[in-house]
Structure 1
């Protein structure tokens, strides 16, 4: 296990002063006794409401404390600050490009006011020039044989790496090891832990000038030589030799399991060893991104129930919340599910209704996307709605 940097240890030590502030600090977590798929072992004391946060490098620690006190006053228990994007770290990484040491600024005041802090990490996409230039073989290939480096789907940053490549696995493991070694951090939060969308949400299709009624070759991944060889070894056929790869159950399950095995067998054990909780941002239409998250050994899951992406209303949030919980229970999991809401798409009254419907679906709480989209009226609505739950 790599040595922890001195300043990362100091962050944890600084957080110990929280008791003197009059706010309680969530108890430290011990590693889970098991990473068995049927025993995710969520912590006994869990947050109720969360918020995703993107980096702001020009805000002082004092101002962050004021902001965090406001979050606590409005029923937020945990924050998900983005500590790694697809291109840079926002903490003092030993091996990644560093955009700024944001985590070092926000972690002490967040802990002082009693917030849990779970580091939000983009997982599969990578646009670090050194990686892209030196390891093109790491990246996914679509059914047309095109690399995501040369022809990424939808947007330029959709340069996804392949979960079956040993080099990719090691690169992601190293990130998880470094982040979960940070003292004072409560957990790690996986985002983009999937393949590219083979079919994107209906409301987003006009934005890219496409119509998708079925799985189309330019968006169908991964057909790299490693994936094809591994599938052929296990199933006796190259995916290209299948009559119709889009209808092959074995080929579909292979992609699901490629992500699940990476999460369960390689990433979560590292977090558990370092005493950190594990969560993930996931898709309600999980099949479209090969993300069978109800098979993952997570403590918490945050499905992104962005209703406006799917031309849906508040009842859809209730139904998807319920369906996600049922899928988890069907796998014997006690993972807590939080309904992820896109607050940039609603007025205060609409937010209250979404929260009401999420709780009707038995959500453990709410996760807001994102802090930067909230205003005074939305915070008031959020506090009132969550106080009724």
Structure 2
């Protein structure tokens, strides 16, 4: 009997199946430093313990016999770690990760927190070619106290092992087009009434952004083979297409979609420096593959605005778009309704910003 794990193929999944993913992962200050070396992030809260404390986000944590004050890491660090846990069971044999929905960050993650992830299969649909199918899962990451840190739905196209295996009954989950503003979770204690705009880097408040406004984030970063593989290994993402050139017919390593999300988020600082915290990801689609050598740019569109009950805190619903090469026209779709050439990522999210 083989002791190695070939990963699950499409016919191995069933609706209602619950998978407890292996290898809990403890977040460290090294994750914060590594994230900053991989992405040009400059948001003040995860960058500065003093700034985080000034807006009410200093968290007491027990380190052995000593209580220390910790400040949160980037939300996407928690996402990448939690997502990486799911890969060996959900998407090791994936053709591509297709999209996300209903992602909410329930609580801040600080160094010392240990994240564990589980997933439930909520939908299945075999593709017409009979060679693969789409698997829908809802994943939940909890900390060492059993508290939910984040949860999300995603769908991924997975190869079949046996092309003659019968197609399962098609089940498509009912996923909300967006997290409702009233369902956003604002971190406990967050208070932007004494917000330091100089330290944050830009003067723009919630009221300075208009629905329909587009923001060209200007800067670009060229992807390198070593960096995208380092990032993917950091999150313990074992998907073959990112490391093994023999896993794809074209012999190229596909850049992990989360790497593009973090790159675009970091680039969005220029124009959205005060969109300090991601509260939710409503939807996301990796619309084209990315490879080493591609230069990533980003632009955002303001989709909606909402007030929150937290002092001085508003929410912006943003479409964050990553492109291969800069698109000064900021065009998402062509006249045919399809994504414009060069669009890599279409991400719909809520961010918290001072009013």
Which of the five TM-score ranges fits, normalised by the shorter chain?
under 0.3
TM-score between both structures, scaled by the size of structure 1: 0.24
TM-score between both structures, scaled by the size of structure 2: 0.26
More strand by share: 2
More helix by share: 1
